[in-house]
């Protein structure tokens, strides 16, 4: 069974992990404290131990989260992962998430400021009137060169992908500030894209909108770091989501298009929604309390690798 280093409080490993802990204890000096506070005090001391990768982490226990675009794809995967790790999670979308999920559904369109504000007002009491984690994931795609989309389409994509983040964060800031004041920190994670930092063909409009998301993430991180609100983003590569499936269906040769999308990722396959969700959970976690203003690539190596063509 594989193992990994992690940071936790008031936890002890079991089974094989217990034996690994005994061995590791000879190498690490761990300062223990009595009656550690239950809040996420950024200055609290932690114990370093070896834990099993199959153990489900509970670092979000007692925390609250809101995920936009939470009814499908990356948003749903993220909401379910945060819930599995102990958070109380609301999923904001134009439709409800599947009934089988243990999520608080809230219906709103991120292009409508009044709807967003009403949704945040509605979800506040359900999330204990504070918000530890905001995941701005709602977004739409667009294909074509700079001349292929008219002004209305440019406005529509920016309205969702960029202003959607603005509206939701603006409305949620009072709840984020309350969480940061009570627990020592809060986190915002924006879903950006590899298209923000790499030139991709036939993605002019989409790339421009995600470039704006990247710049906005850095500006927000600078604006709110003093309030102990961390702001980061994930930069996924091509993810196997409903939008990509629609893109493939619309292609003249869906199989050829899928092969092309797969080939441009050095890993040799599409990224999964669960893999992006795991990256979002890392950035949102209180264990990443020193991470802000960061873009985390989840792209199968697209951003940094230049490999030889496979034979």
Residues 171 and 149 in one domain: yes
User: What is the tally of structural domains in the chain?
Assistant: 2
Q: If you average pLDDT over residues 295-310, what whole number do you get?
A: 89
**Given 46, 49, 104, 206, which residue is catalytic?**
206
Domain interval for residue 20: 3-52
- Please say whether the beta carbons of 146 and 93 come within 8 A: no
Residues 73 and 18 in one domain: no
180 phi, psi to nearest 5 deg: -65, -40
Q: What is the mean pLDDT of the chain?
A: 85
Residues 123 and 252 in one domain: yes
Residue 58 maps to a domain: no
- Please say whether the beta carbons of 276 and 78 come within 8 A: yes
Q: Which of 11, 32, 52 is the last residue of a domain?
A: 52
CATH number for 77 = 3.40.50.720
Residues 197 and 289 in one domain: yes
Residues 77 and 172 in one domain: yes
Rounded Cα–Cα distance for residues 187 and 184 (Å): 11
Provide the 10 A C-beta neighbour count for residue 298. Answer: 21
Residue 45 maps to a domain: yes
Residues 40 and 129 in one domain: no
DSSP per position, 195-263: GGTS--TTBHHHHHHHHHHHHHHHHHHHHHGGGTEEEEEEEE-SB-SHHHHHHHHHSSSHHHHHHHHHH
Residue 309 maps to a domain: no
Residues 33 and 171 in one domain: no
Residue 306 maps to a domain: no
Residues 136 and 30 in one domain: no
Who has greater pLDDT, 69 or 38?
Answer: 69
Record the pTM.
0.80
Residue 167 maps to a domain: yes
pLDDT in tens, 46-88: 333 333 433 457 899 999 999 999 999 999 999 999 999 999 9
- Please say whether the beta carbons of 135 and 66 come within 8 A: yes
286 phi, psi to nearest 5 deg: -65, -20
CA angle, 227 as apex, 105 and 276 as ends, to 5°?
45
pLDDT in tens, 198-240: 999 999 999 999 999 999 999 999 999 999 999 999 999 988 8
Residues 110 and 199 in one domain: yes
The reply to whether 282 belongs to the active site is: no
Residues 272 and 161 in one domain: yes
Residues 41 and 71 in one domain: no
């Amino acid at each position: 069974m594989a193992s990994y280093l992690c940071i936790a409080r008031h936890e002890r490993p079991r089974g094989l992990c217990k034996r690994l802990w005994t061995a590791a204890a000879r190498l690490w000096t761990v300062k223990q404290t009595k009656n550690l506070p239950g809040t996420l005090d950024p200055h609290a001391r932690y114990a370093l131990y070896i834990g099993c990768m199959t153990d489900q982490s509970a670092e979000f226990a007692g925390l609250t989260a809101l995920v936009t675009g939470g009814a499908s794809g990356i948003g749903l995967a993220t909401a379910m992962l945060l819930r599995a790790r102990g958070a109380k999670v609301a999923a904001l979308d134009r439709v409800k998430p599947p009934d089988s999920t243990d999520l608080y559904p809230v219906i709103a369109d991120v292009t409508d400021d009044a709807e967003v504000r009403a949704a945040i007002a509605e979800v506040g009491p359900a999330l204990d009137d504070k918000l530890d984690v905001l995941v701005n994931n709602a977004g739409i795609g667009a294909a074509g060169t700079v001349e292929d989309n008219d002004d209305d389409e440019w406005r529509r994509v920016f309205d969702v992908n960029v202003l959607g983040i603005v509206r939701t964060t603006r409305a949620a800031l009072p709840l984020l500030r309350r969480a940061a004041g009570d627990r020592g920190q809060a986190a915002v994670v924006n879903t950006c894209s590899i298209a923000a930092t790499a030139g991709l063909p036939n993605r002019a409009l989409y790339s421009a909108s995600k470039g704006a998301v990247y710049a906005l993430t850095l500006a927000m991180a600078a604006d709110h770091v003093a309030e102990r609100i961390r702001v980061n983003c994930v930069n996924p590569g091509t993810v196997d989501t409903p939008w990509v499936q629609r893109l493939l269906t619309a292609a003249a040769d869906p199989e050829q298009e899928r092969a092309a999308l797969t080939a441009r990722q050095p890993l040799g396959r599409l990224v999964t929604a669960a893999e992006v969700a795991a990256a979002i959970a890392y950035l949102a976690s209180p264990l990443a309390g020193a991470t802000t203003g960061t873009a985390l690539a989840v792209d199968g190596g697209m951003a940094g690798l230049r490999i030889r063509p496979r034979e």
